[in-house]
Amino acid sequence: MSEEELDVTALLKGSIRQVLGDEMLFIEAVRDLIKEEIKEHLRKKIENDPELKEELKKGFVMYYEGKMRELLGGVIIAKAGTKLALESIPEDIKKEVSEELQKELMKLVDETL
């Protein structure tokens, strides 16, 4: 390659970087378009196959229920851990800690609801 060709190549590469940026926004946009096309294709397949649609729906429900059970399990473990911690606290400060904990939990519940 001649020196002029190298300069042109460097110039083009630099221009592309300036336009696209270091994050390569163009490539990300193309990936997003491809994802959308794939989603559309899959939706059509699902809509044309009621049995598959029902099976997926059943699977999603089971998955969601499983996640909720996981959450419930975490709450039960946290509750048991709190009980254990409260039982380990010396009697002279147990009431104070219990009141503070109750206040914080009620605050959390109020904010959530």
- H/E element holding 66? helix 50-88
pLDDT in tens, 45-63: 999 999 999 999 999 999 9
In whole angstroms, what is the distance from residue 55 CA to residue 41 CA? Answer: 18
Q: Pick from 48, 68, 84: which residue ends a domain? A: 48
SS3 at position 1: coil
Domain range holding 108?
Answer: 51-113
What's at 101, amino acid-wise?
L
Query: Global pTM?
Result: 0.52
56 and 111 together in one domain: yes
Please give the pLDDT value at position 32: 94
Residues 14 and 41 grouped into a single domain: yes
Please, what is the average pLDDT of the chain? 85
Please list, residue by residue across 46-78, b when 16 or more beta carbons sit within 10 angstroms of its beta carbon and e when fewer do. Answer: eeeeeeeeeeeeeeeeeeeeeeeeeeeeeeeee
pLDDT at 72 over 90: yes
